[in-house]
Every structure is written in C-alpha cells, then in structure tokens.
Amino acid sequence: MKALKFLLLPYMAAVIAAAFLWPEPAQGFIGESSRIVFFHVPCAWTSTLAFLVAAAYSAAYLRTRNPWHDDVAAAAVRIGLLFGVLTLITGSLFANIMWGSWWNWDPRESSYLLLVFLYAAYLFLRSAVEDPDRRPRVAAAYALFAVVLMPFLTFVAPRITASLHPQTVINPQGKILMDTPTRAVFFGALAGFSGLFLWMLSIEARTRRLARTGPISRTGRTSP
C-alpha cells in the first residue's frame, strides 16, 4: 500500500494535467465544460465501486463473522459517500454551465442523490443499533439488500423518463463515443481514482480497526 501511495501522487498529477491540456474540448458542449467528464465520471465510478466492495465485504462478514470485514465494509460506504457527494457537486457544476441551473431534477441527478441517501441511511442504521454484536450483522444485511436494489436506482429509474444528461459510457449503442486522447485520459482517470479509493479504504479500515481494538503496540499487543 505504501508503494501505491507514492505512485498515486505523480500519477494523479499527470492525469489532472492531461485532463486540462491534452484532449480538445468535446463538440456540443459550452466552453471547456466537457472536461468535467475526467472527474465527474471517475467519482461516480469510484462511489459505485465502493458500494460494491461494501457489499462484498458484508457478504464476507456474514460468512466468517470476522470483524475486519465489517470494518472494511463500513469504511467503503463512508468513502463511497464522499465520492458520491463529489459526483453530485461536479454534476451540479456541469449542469449550471450547460443547462443554466445548479439543479434540474434530471432523472439521473435525482437517482444519484437517492443513491447517496441510500448509503447515508446505512450509516444512520449502524449508529441506531446499539448492540455491538448485532450492529455489523444488521449493517451487512442492509448493505446486501441495498446492492440488490441499487441497479434499479442507477440503471432503470433514470431511463424511465427523458433525461438531459449526456450519453453515459454504458449507452444503447454499446460504444465509447470518445476520441483517442479523451479515451486515454478518461480511462487513466478511472484507474487513478480506483487506486486512490484503495489507498483511502486501507487507511479508513485500519482506523476503524484501531478504534475497535485500541492502539496496537510494536509487540503486537492491544493496549487496554
């Protein structure tokens, strides 16, 4: 994880520089607004990845009852929420430039807001269950139930009504509608944000474990 940390710094700096300097702005968008795709979509991808990781670790917790799996699941949801909020903020910036309003109740905007609520509710639920033995089990059950219904929020609900949102990477044509430099920076950003997520997840999960067990000394013993 240390190597990842040192790799991420120059890598993300290069991705950010490339995002502003390399590809030409896409046609059909006002000014440089299309460049938001290099930040907005990776944020959305990272939050979805985080929620999937939370579900995977929740399933692992229910199978093994290993509290470390619960730590990772809870950490993934917190980081997923952070990236979810960043998705909403970057989306709102784009909406203001393109559609003249910070918030338009576009189906995709609304469904993403609800996805954030869905996982904010996970944290509410965790804090409302006082029994420390029951809390990880209830949280894991909710995380798994939520991930079963998540596709309806992210894929089905935005397609029931007409949307202003530009075509997504997963579109009806099944094609990535980007030129080569845009595609390179876009996938580079996706990889960078995924790496950033892994690094943050490692820190957050270990912090949670420390909070649960207390500081561990150099000899590996837990302090009282």
Q: Which residues bind other proteins (CB under 8 A)?
A: 62, 111, 114-115, 117-118, 121, 124-125, 128-131, 134, 137-138, 140-142, 144-146, 148-149, 151-153, 156-157, 160-161
We find the least distance from the C-beta atom of residue 34 to other proteins, in angstroms, to be 29
The residues that bridge with 222 in the sheet, in sequence order, are: 216
We find the least distance from the C-beta atom of residue 116 to other proteins, in angstroms, to be 8
DSSP state of 106: -
Residue 214's φ and ψ, nearest 5 degrees, are 90, 165
We find the least distance from the C-beta atom of residue 123 to other proteins, in angstroms, to be 10
The residues that bridge with 216 in the sheet, in sequence order, are: 222
Nearer to other proteins, 93 or 157 (CB): 157
We find the least distance from the C-beta atom of residue 108 to other proteins, in angstroms, to be 13
Nearer to other proteins, 70 or 193 (CB): 70
Nearer to other proteins, 64 or 213 (CB): 64
Q: Are 70 and 169 in contact (CB under 8 A)?
A: no
Sequence letter at residue 130: E
- Give 30's Cβ-side CA count (13 Å radius): 8
CA 34, CA 27: separation in Å to the nearest integer? Answer: 8
We find the least distance from the C-beta atom of residue 161 to other proteins, in angstroms, to be 7
Q: From residue 84, how far is each of 103, 112, 223 by CA, in Å?
A: 16, 8, 36
Nearer to other proteins, 24 or 130 (CB): 130
CA 159, CA 153: separation in Å to the nearest integer? Answer: 10
Nearer to other proteins, 90 or 111 (CB): 111
